[in-house]
Amino acid sequence: MTQETAPRAAGDLASRAVGIRVSGVDKIYPTRRGEVHALSGIDLDVGRGEFVSLVGRSGCGKTTLLRILSGLLAPSAGTVEAGGRPAWVAGRRDDAVFAEFGLVFQEANLFPWFTVAENVGLPLKLRGAGRAARRARALELCATVGLSGFEDSYPRELSGGMRQRAAIARALACDPSVLLMDEPFGALDALTRDRMNLELQQIHAVSGATVVFVTHSIPEAVFLADRVVLLTPRPGRIRSIVPVGLPRPRSAGVESQPEFGEIVAELRRELDRED
């Protein structure tokens, strides 16, 4: 298996997306008991408009890598570029690089005193957009993620899956060129998670964003991704990158296809070799 880049142009807006290049990235956390080497020598190219899933055992550094890509953590060594621009210079982030990044975490983290539309439009409010523009964009995005009719509901009135849809809509509010997702469906029941995977596939096709998606589920990673990146246990290194050549759009029935099963089995064999 090679670390080849096979970007797939997704949707009419794919030209807005940017590619990501990670070169020689290390991350070391200082602790009272010494240093914890979380990541070591990460080299990864994510093509413009590509969907890449990160998998690996707990503690392998998936979330650390995603936080470095999002600008929440500085790498201890190495470089990160987005659209050909350095994201970190001398340990300081270039805010302009991250201005069009969208982030989604495992918890929706919606403000309970805001309606769905107000939560979705919040990034636009922070950028100075007027109320009418925020409302119009929020309604558009609620329709995109299947929340039409719930724009004026409060988070407490929504199911877990609906709250995650609202969180995804909020991340899309400013038309991000890159969407970073850290186990966004990990707390959902299996049926809701399957529905959300179908929704996310459609959202990716429409938005054309470059997506990096962290998950513990190998079938989920394969279902969504153009390539699956497997990280080793700490310190996290790239063990393998597996391309997923299944045609899009993918229905739930793709999981019964032999090629899907072969890719999942290959990734599980890679994990078993670490035991």
Q: Is 238 a residue whose pLDDT tops 80?
A: yes
Q: Is 96 a residue whose pLDDT tops 60?
A: yes
Strands 227-231 and 51-55: parallel
The tokens for 57 are: 């055992």
Q: Tokens 């020689």 sit at which residue?
A: 24
Q: Which residues contact 3 (CB under 8 A, 6 or more apart)?
A: 43, 44, 45, 238, 241
What average pLDDT score do residues 195-212 get? 90
Q: Is 6 a residue whose pLDDT tops 90?
A: no
Say if 118 falls within a structural domain: yes
Say if 145 falls within a structural domain: yes
Banded pLDDT at 12 (limits 50, 70, 90): very low
Q: If you average pLDDT over every residue of the chain, what do you get?
A: 88
Q: Which residues contact 257 (CB under 8 A, 6 or more apart)?
A: 246
Say if 15 falls within a structural domain: no
- The C-alpha atoms of residue 45 and residue 47 are separated, in whole angstroms, by 6
Say if 29 falls within a structural domain: no
What average pLDDT score do residues 9-28 get? 72
pLDDT, one tens digit per residue, over 153-163 is 999 999 999 99
The tokens for 263 are: 């890719």
- Give Cα 72 to chain centroid, integer Å: 14
SS (H, E, C) 147-171: CCCCCCCCHHHCCHHHHHHHHHHHH
Domain range for residue 126? 112-174
Between vectors from CA 15 to CA 147 and to CA 92, what angle results, nearest 5°?
A: 90
Say if 272 falls within a structural domain: no
- The C-alpha atoms of residue 96 and residue 18 are separated, in whole angstroms, by 13
Say if 123 falls within a structural domain: yes
pLDDT, one tens digit per residue, over 140-194 is 999 988 899 999 999 999 999 999 999 999 998 988 899 999 999 888 888 888 8
Say if 120 falls within a structural domain: yes
Whether the Cβ atoms of residue 175 and residue 13 lie closer than 8 Å to each other: yes
Say if 69 falls within a structural domain: no
Q: Given this model, what pLDDT does residue 7 score?
A: 36
Task: Report how many domains make up the chain.
Answer: 1
